[in-house]
Structure formats: C-alpha cells, structure tokens
Structure 1
C-alpha cells in the first residue's frame, strides 16, 4: 500500500470509530498510533505517543484552557448565567420579536464567559424559551432562534474551539481571539436582522411583550455591570497587549473569584463544584488534544496534505473556489460528526492547503470554527437542536429544524461574507497588539 492509501484507510477507520461511538480523543489517538506504527514502526509510535503526552501536559500556553474554563464556572457560580437575557429582554422585549433579539444578545453575552456552544444554548435556552412561549411566540421559531444563537458561544472569545485550534495549528491564541471579535459581532447582527425581517413579515411569530420602565431597565443593567467589566477587562486587556492569553485567563480567574465574593456566592460548595467541573472538562479536552496531535503526525507522514495541495494546484482553481469546495465538504461532514471531531479531523488536512492558497492560518481558524458552528444546527446531527428539544420537550424536532431555516440562510450569507472579504476577520488583529 502507498502512504497516501494508508492515510485514507486511517481516515476511514477514524470515521468508523466515531460512528461506533468511541470517544473522540480515543479514536484520534488510536488511529494516530496505529497509523504511525504501520508507516514507521511500533517503537516509533509508542515513543511519539510518550513525547506528545509529555509536551502537551507541560505546555505553558495550554494553561489558558483550564483557566478560562474555571473563570466561566466561577461566573456561573456567581449567578451570571441568565442575567444577559433578562437585561436584554427588559430593553427590547416590547418590540415585535424583541425576546428573540434578547435571546441572541443573551447568547452573545453568555458566550463571552462560557466559550461553549452547548453550554450557551442550554443555559440561555432554559431561561429564554419558557419566557418566549409565555409571551405567545411560535414554539418552532423561538427554539430555532435559541439553537442558532447558541452557536455564538463557539466563536466569541474566550472560545474553547479557538483555543484547541490554536494549539493544534500552533497559532497565536491571542490573535485568534482578536480575529473572532468582528465575525462574532456580525454573526449576532445577522441573526437579529433575520428575526426583524421574519417578525415584520409574520408578526404572529414574535408578538411584543409589555414595555417596562426605564428605571427597571437600568437596574438590570447595573446588575450585570460587574460581569461586563470582567469580560471587557480580560478580553480588552488581551487585545491591547496588556496580557498574554494565559495571563488574561489568570486575571480572569482572580476577577471571577472577586465576583463570587461580591455576589455572596463564595462558599465551599460553589467553589468546589466549579473546580470539579473544570477538572472534568479539562481532562476530556487534554485527551482530545493528545489524540489530535498523534493523528496530525500520522497524516503528515502519509503525505495526504501534500497530495491534496498538489491536486488543488493541478486543477488551477481559484483560491475562492477551492475554499468554497472546502466549506461544502465541511458542511457535509458536519452532518454526522460533532464539531470538535470535525475540526480535529480536518485541520491537519485542510490547513496546509489553505496556506498554500495564500490564506492566513488565523483567518482559516475563524473560517473553520464558523463552518463548524453551522453543524451545530443543521440536520441530521444538529446538537443544539437536541439540547433545545430537551428543554421544550413538547416541541417536535421537525418544528425546530423548520424554525432554524432562516438562521441557516443568515449563516450561509455570513460565511460567504467571511470568504469574500477576509479583511472582516484580519483587520482587528492588524491594528491591535493581540
């Protein structure tokens, strides 16, 4: 067998393992070790596995992951989980589709402390969906808006997906965070425009709620001022060069501890739970990173990435056409792979091709996460849809998927904008110290 054929066999084997339900990290590590053993030798495979585990476990930059996770869990312990939606609802709930707009704003705000799509949709959805249904919103529309809005948690910094990509691709996590700010903001804006258009055409989808006094709105805003200050200080300090990503995460943890103390949540039970959840999630992600690096090593040895790069050159396709083809393939794979598995499977293959085409690896990281986000809501997998359906058990899955269609249209238009105008992603990193 040629090296390329061994590589393709390994990729198919990985897909089979994932289909059988084998955990992502184990699937990646097993495929990588077996592949390296076949390509080089069993001794080389075992030696590489040992080196990868040691290097990853002692990597200073990787400390940013558990620190940002701890910051998020401490903010949850301080009761900051549903506050963003509540405040947004006070300001725009009286407009047609206002609670839908508030749900998007709530997802964006919560995403800035959670870094996770599933955590965002679960937390904001549990607060927003009952409120939207009590206000007379169409159940499918309400659930679709929340499922789509939850994807903001995967892109808005501090994004766990971008941290993992930065480590795998050996790119600056700080630059990735800065590059994600404008795409994250415009993604939320596109969702809000979709809601405004839908509710203008069909007012029954999102009837207005009762207007609340300005004093009540301002009290709500003051109630989240401490969380907003924390996010702005940490991410803003990273953008203007006050902190490295690891330092920013460390400062964020200290500020989150203070937030718990100020809000009266600094107790043994809450802090213990925050540490336990952080350790559990960190261990899972570390295993995934171990496996991803072993798999990437296997792919590089087989020469598949070089072969695909040469194929792209031989086709004489424009960079834009090649990236669009890549996006279509990612969307197809996203139909049956979870987002992190998709990113870890395709990064070793597609990143060298994107660089060969002249694209920045920072831009590619945002493009990959943005494409991965769409997989969270499009059928048949659509993990966010199942999370929302678990909250609103009486809402049929078909109704939720129909409610998501307008937001998928917004997603595709937004993705097309990022492809056509890379400056949307790269401008902010070019003018900041991040």
Structure 2
C-alpha cells in the first residue's frame, strides 16, 4: 500500500503540472483535492466533502468582505482616483531628479490602498505615469522598473485582496492582518524611494528633473485626493480599532465611495452597473479558487504530509530562521512560474503549520507570504507585472523592463530579510491595536 505522505507529494506535483500547463487555478486545486480525497477515503466521501466545503464558502458571512471591498475599489476607479494620486505626487516631487519615479511609487501606494491588487495597481498607474516619464526623458528601463516594483504595493497595503483570502483560508483576523500590513507596506515603499534616489544620485540621466510646480497649484491638487484618503483612513482605521467588523467596514467603504462618486459628478446607473459587473466577475473567480484551495487543504491534511514535513524540520534541528529562509527560497522558486494567488493557496496548507510549530505567528506568516508572493510579480521568468507594462508600452522589450527592475528586486530582498530578522516590524501595530 502506498504511504499517504507519498500520495500527498504526488498530489502537489500533479497540481504544479496542471498550473504550469495553463489549467485555471481554482479548477486545478479542486480536481487534485477531490481526486486525492477519493483515493485517500472514497469517491462518495470526496464528493460529500467537496459539497460541504462549497456550501460553507458560499454561505460564509465573513467572505462577504471580499466582493464589497472589490466594489468599493471599482467605484473609486470610476471616480478618477488613479490619475489623481499620481498627479498630486508629481506636483510635489516631480521637480527633483527621479521625481516622477518617486511620484509613481506614491501613486502606486495610494492607489494600492483602493485596489488591493498588484496587477490592477500596475496597470492603472502605469497607463498614467509611464507616458509622462517617457515624455520627460526618463530612461525607459528605469521608468518601467519603478512602476513594476511599485505595483506590488497593491497586494500588501490594506485593504489587500490577498490578505483577505489568506485570512479566510488560514482562519485569521482580517483586521489584525490589515494592521500588520501597514508598517511593512509603508517601509516597502520607502525602500523603493531610497532605491530611486540612490540610482539618480549616481546616474542623473536616468530621471531628469522637470519644471517646479508653484505652491498655488500644489494645494488644489492635494484637495483632489483628500476625500478618497479620508475614506480609506476612516474604513481601515475603524476596522483596526474595532468600530467595524470587516464586513461592516467594507459596507461603509462602498457607501462612502458612492457618495464620492456622486460629489465628483460621475454617478450614473451605467457607471454603477459596470462596477457591479466587474466586481461579480472577479469575486466569482476568487470564490472558485477558495473552494478549490480549501478542498486541496483537506486532501493535504488527510495525507499527513504537513506533519511529516514538520517532523523532518524538527529532526534536522534547524533554527526557525534557517527553516524560514528555506521556505523563502522555495517560494521564490515556485513564484518564478506560478501566479501569486496560486502560490499562496498551494503553500499555505503546507507551510503555515510548520511556521506555527517553529513559533512564528500566523499573522506574521501571512504578511511574509504575501510579501514573498509580491516578489514573484517582478522576478523572471513569469513576472506578471512586467508583462502588464509591456502590454501598455509595446515598444519596450521584456529584457529592458527586467533589467530596469533589478535594483528594485535588490531592495525587495533586503526588505524581506528585514521582515524575517525583525518580526516585531509586522507584529507591533496589531499588538497596539489589540491592546
């Protein structure tokens, strides 16, 4: 008889084969999960388990937070938030060397707080910022590299779709995850800003300075984003300090976004209908992925492979930091050919129990996992953010963009090392809020 652990390992390998062959993430997870459960227990029990998981996901009250935050984001898109964040940052720092690149990071951070998605952030901000930087004489690789890296902020800065999904499948507080993401998200942006300033200090031709904008034009531009910034601060702040549950916070966010859309003169039934349609498409896809992930997690749990891996780590007498570094290398390797969500859903059922046994907080692990997942958006050969930018600027070669992102990858690795070495950076704010 085949050992259960070997069946679990075979299931993981088959899943990787499906994903690398282009089979949709949710379908791959569901097929492997159901097939593995049928082999481990029985086909009838596997179907029953699949039905139970599907019903629990669809009827889960807490999961309502995801489509509501998505709807808030789409309504803010319609209100013109994407251009506003970049315009404000450009007016304040555009006159410095690399100022428009600095502005693009600021725009990505601001827009990421609305979108919750790396791909949405890089696509939206790049469509505005990249033509402006190229018009100003910026080196194409430097400009596109800054945008590709800045786009990853959308996956970490709350309200993050990736953190919501992790919180659901790992059964962790979404409010605490959002609180834990704030300092790493801001420090990640700071690392990118420092990278830009250092590069432009040594090579000024990468990002020439543009004309200084007078203060009489800066303050009105600042007022253009004040309403959206206030909405984000109210929703996320209220969630963290306990005014709202996650679902209530998302509902308040949707109402606030509708008010902003009306005040800005963009409200119409067609606009709201388009936002709802886009939300339903994205949310439906994510629901399928979550159902597949939980089914796969049940299969992995039945095989006992996580317990075997945990025992192996214990037997090696490796320190927790060494074990986390090994996980990091595996995640970066898998991230070179897997989509970020697929990477998270594949590895969470396997790595989270090991990390907890090693003494790491599940909240810290969620931030670590999303941060590592973000790096996969910009490192070769997959680098989805790179392909998004290449789709916007078709005259730029992939090689040019990948070379431009290398300095930002160095900043990513340094930042990730800091989060591993100093977990307090992640856990301090949740402890203060909880206290």
Counterpart-to-counterpart distance in 2, 1:391 and 1:20: 26
What is the aligned partner in structure 2 of residue 29 from structure 1?
30
Aligned residues: 434
In the TM superposition, what is the alpha-carbon distance from 1:77 to its structure 2 partner? 1.0
Task: Tell me what 1:335 maps to.
Answer: 336
Shift of 1:433: 3.8
* Runs of 4+ with >3 A deviation: none
**d(CA) in 2 for partners of 1:215 and 1:49?**
61
Give TM-score scaled by structure 2 length: 0.99
- Partner secondary structure for residue 21 of structure 1: coil
**1:29-84 CA distances to partner (integer Å, 9 max, x unpaired)?**
00000000000000110000110111111111101000000000010111112210
Counterparts of 1:256 and 1:432, CA distance in 2? 26
Determine helix, strand or coil for the equivalent of 2:96. coil
Equivalent residue number for residue 405 of structure 1: 406
**Could you say which residue in structure 2 is the equivalent of 1:221?**
222
Who is 2:274 aligned against? 273
Q: Report SS of the residue matched to 2:81.
A: coil
Name the Cα RMSD after superposition.
0.7
- Aligned equivalent of 1:380: 381
Secondary structure of the structure 1 residue equivalent to 2:379: coil
Partner deviation per Cα, 1:179-218 (whole Å, 9 max, x = no partner): 0000000000000000000000000000001001101010
- 2:397 corresponds in structure 1 to 396
* CA–CA separation in structure 2 for the residues paired with 1:400 and 1:81: 22
Q: CA deviation at 1:390?
A: 0.9
- 1:139 aligns to what? 140
- Number of the residue aligned with 2:189: 188
Aligned counterparts of 1:82 and 1:325: Cα–Cα separation in 2: 40
Provide the secondary structure at the position in 1 that maps to 2:138. Answer: coil
Match of 1:284 in 2: 285
In structure 1, the gaps of 5 or more residues are none
Any unmatched runs of 5+ in structure 2? none
- Structure 2 residue 72 is matched with structure 1 residue 77: no
Query: 1:309, 1:36 → 2: CA distance?
Result: 22
In 2: Cα distance, 1:393 partner to 1:279 partner: 30
Q: What is the rounded CA distance, in whole Å, between the counterparts of 1:148 and 1:325 in structure 2?
A: 24
Cα deviation, residue 20, structure 1: 1.4
What is the TM-score with the length of structure 1 in the denominator?
Answer: 0.99
Matched residue SS, 1:405 = helix
Deviations for 1:86-108, whole angstroms, at most 9, x for unmatched residues? 10000000000100100000000
Deviates further, 73-82 or 271-280:
73-82
User: Counterpart of 1:169?
Assistant: 170
